[in-house]
Structure 1
């Protein structure tokens, strides 16, 4: 009996050693409550490739550094994040991302329309930034814009000032950029005639829209091509951080449109032939980290976004908050009514109307 017990005990020890060795070499099979480091092929990283809009680059780089410090793992495999900037739907076949992370739902709707992206879940808003006007604080220009903002038709009211170049409005190219498309959505919402006719006057006033949001601000702040631009709020805050003034010493000022539209930065995990289930699970883990109050607070305090996670609140009385620092220059936490983003088909129709109006 003793000999039998010794044999059973020895067999059990050998089995445990064998399972441990296999786990260390290949990684655990299925879900593992403890993330065990592996020394063989099981140590191959699970790569999450994130194709994102470049305007959140600085926050995302900082957040990913913090994520890497946690040494994230999935089933014993390390998670490796690769960032691909300037995301577009057209780049999917070459970049093969795990996550598509544009600036707004407008791009998500267009991806759905083109049948170029399928998502495992409803894309989750991660950061919020309303479309605002950024201008130099010249008193006459501020009064002109405020009068138009109080009118029943903002875009129609400012058109004569665009025609005589009192206002030099800048937007991003609506064919390629979401903030330019947001302008079209807002303009169309107040349009009472043919949409091409509605767009034609504005298109004539903006013969060369900027290629991207950063170029738009450069064209205003450094090249003086515009004296007012339509831009997401967080980029307006970046401009305020420069402490720039115009040739007359006027500081920058932020004005809020009577109806706005949000860049909500939806995080969309793809369901495509090149994305594995492990990559999807790792992408979910990354998303949950980026949605934590700490990382959302980082986006608000240092990079000018409004957090999508309501547990991360902005305190307007906090001297470290941009909403406190720049309150005198118009920055305001209160949001005015928002226009619902249209479908992908409707967006494409607006883009086609803009091209016809140019």
Structure 2
């Protein structure tokens, strides 16, 4: 009997060995060691997630860059959150948004948030002042007037041929005679001006800043005292009579100008990149729609900064810096041209041989490479008081 017992025991041992080896191979596959990507076990747990809170004007460019970044950096997951610059600033201040990286449309909003944040010194500075994590531009675009050409010619004549100006617009808007007050046609009616709500949208804030600086004939040095002058406040109230509705989205004006023509807007104040995206669609519908650069403009420089809040871990900071390096890399900066932005990298030329380059393709519509002098962005307290003045004096009177 003993030989039979030994045979049975040997058989059971062999079967057990087979089951053991099979289970080991199956477990290895489930653990990811043989995954198609070749990643090591636990690699999924090593992915670092960061959030990128950004102004929606650059949505298409950001989404395109994020898609290619994810393919090249599978160990970093970028969660995109698009929000208007002023709304985003307030959300960070209130603690409703805690992004790893923030990129508003321009430095005026960033400075205002930094000033507001500093009212509680115990929190420490929100941004670094130097190094890779400090605010640096991603792409840039100036503020422009988009005007129907026949209206623009009247405005230019009223401004002694010096271009479209805020003062010429004010003269036409303030008069109860409308366009005829500056030589326009009677059937054009009242001047219809479009810009966004400056308390909700960055382009509206920039429009307010530029109009104020033109009123004072200043390129820099705007003060809180300037904003308290009753004559200036009355001038601003008269100018804003031309805006029938303060939208929250800059893109709304361009879309409505193309869709409804001068019956909706004669003049819109928008970002150059938005004008580029829509200007060709308007031709042949309601006349010629063209871009005009004010004598003094402002850059939307789209600064991006890694926040120094206590919610950002060292790993997230490192991942965020990698993401910002990618956005500032030459290939990604060159792709910004296709979306109507001027690259922040000065080494990337605006004029290229590409037939689709908007800075050459749309020159006949007023798009130009060289821009007028650029105003200096005031400090945070001045910007905050400008918005307060507008809410108290202008908005409250409507």
The TM-score range, normalised by the shorter chain, is 0.7 to 0.9
Superposition map of 1:273-352 within 5 A: 273-300=310-337, 302-315=338-351, 318-352=354-388
Give the corresponding residue for 2:301.
264
For residue 219 of structure 1, report the CA deviation from its aligned partner.
3.0
The one of 142, 149, 164 equivalent to 2:152 is 142
Q: What SS is found at the alignment partner of 2:295? A: coil
Give the corresponding residue for 1:9.
none
The one of 192, 198, 202 equivalent to 2:239 is 202
Superposition map of 1:103-114 within 5 A: 103-114=105-116
Query: For the Cα contact (< 8 Å) 1:150–1:258, is it kept in 2?
Result: no
**Runs (4+) of structure 1 moved beyond 6 Å?**
none
Is 1:122–2:134 an aligned residue pair?
yes
The 1-side partners of 2:164 and 2:153 are apart by 16
Change (3 A) 1:84 1:143: same
Larger Rg: 2
Deviations 1:309-354 (A, max 9, x none): 1222111664221111111111100011000111111111111221
Query: For the Cα contact (< 8 Å) 1:186–1:259, is it kept in 2?
Result: yes
For residue 143 of structure 1, report the CA deviation from its aligned partner.
1.2
The 2-side partners of 1:152 and 1:212 are apart by 26
Give the corresponding residue for 1:182.
206
Query: For the Cα contact (< 8 Å) 1:317–1:324, is it kept in 2?
Result: no
Give TM-score scaled by structure 1 length.
Answer: 0.81
Give the corresponding residue for 2:283.
245
Change (3 A) 1:272 1:220: same
Give the corresponding residue for 2:166.
155
Superposition map of 1:19-98 within 5 A: 37-40=39-42, 43-72=45-74, 78-87=75-84, 88-92=88-92, 93-98=95-100
For residue 135 of structure 1, report the CA deviation from its aligned partner.
1.9
Query: For the Cα contact (< 8 Å) 2:192–2:266, is it kept in 1?
Result: yes
The 2-side partners of 1:288 and 1:336 are apart by 30
Structure 2: tracts of 5 or more residues without a match: 1-30, 33-37, 119-124, 179-188, 217-228
The 2-side partners of 1:219 and 1:354 are apart by 25
Structure 1: tracts of 5 or more residues without a match: 1-23, 26-35, 73-77
RMSD value, Cα: 2.4
Give the corresponding residue for 1:226.
265
The 2-side partners of 1:143 and 1:244 are apart by 18
Give the corresponding residue for 1:169.
193
For residue 37 of structure 1, report the CA deviation from its aligned partner.
4.6
The 2-side partners of 1:350 and 1:95 are apart by 25
Deviations 1:175-201 (A, max 9, x none): 111111111111111234543223111
Deviations 1:58-116 (A, max 9, x none): 111111111112135xxxxx110000011512323233210111111111012112207
The 1-side partners of 2:355 and 2:198 are apart by 36
Q: What SS is found at the alignment partner of 1:173? A: coil
Give the number of equivalent residue pairs: 315
Give TM-score scaled by structure 2 length.
Answer: 0.74
